[in-house]
Amino acid sequence: MEGLIIVLFVIIAMIMHFSRIESHEDNIKNKIDSLGGCLINYERRNFFTGIGPFILVGKRKMVYRIEYEVEGIKKEGWVRFGGLSGPDWRM
């Protein structure tokens, strides 16, 4: 019985993790659309691959590096999810 509870907990945690990442992807796409741009690429970053303009990134916070194009000009931006006040955009 305990094994079943652990398995269910792991499955629920995985579902929550992947739905959170999908929500981040949607937020990034919506932000670029609101700027009138086209999303080229985005990638999740961690402490070892560089966290961009953010000095502190704690637990449960995710940082993404974003490449996008506005009016033919390629640009780079960063966003940190997981704060109390919502996403922290550095465009």
The end-to-end CA distance of the chain, in Å, is 50
Q: How far is CA 19 from CA 8, 25, 34, 46, 70, in A?
A: 17, 10, 22, 19, 28
| Strand-pair category, 73-81 with 62-70 | antiparallel
> Of the candidates 72, 74, 12, 66, which has an alpha carbon nearest to the alpha carbon of residue 42?
66
Q: Tell me how far apart the 2 most distant CA atoms of the chain are, in Å.
A: 59
pLDDT at 38: 95
Q: What is the pLDDT of residues 22-73, one digit of tens each?
A: 788 999 999 999 999 999 999 988 777 778 888 777 777 889 999 999 999 9
pLDDT at 19: 72
pTM (2 d.p.): 0.77
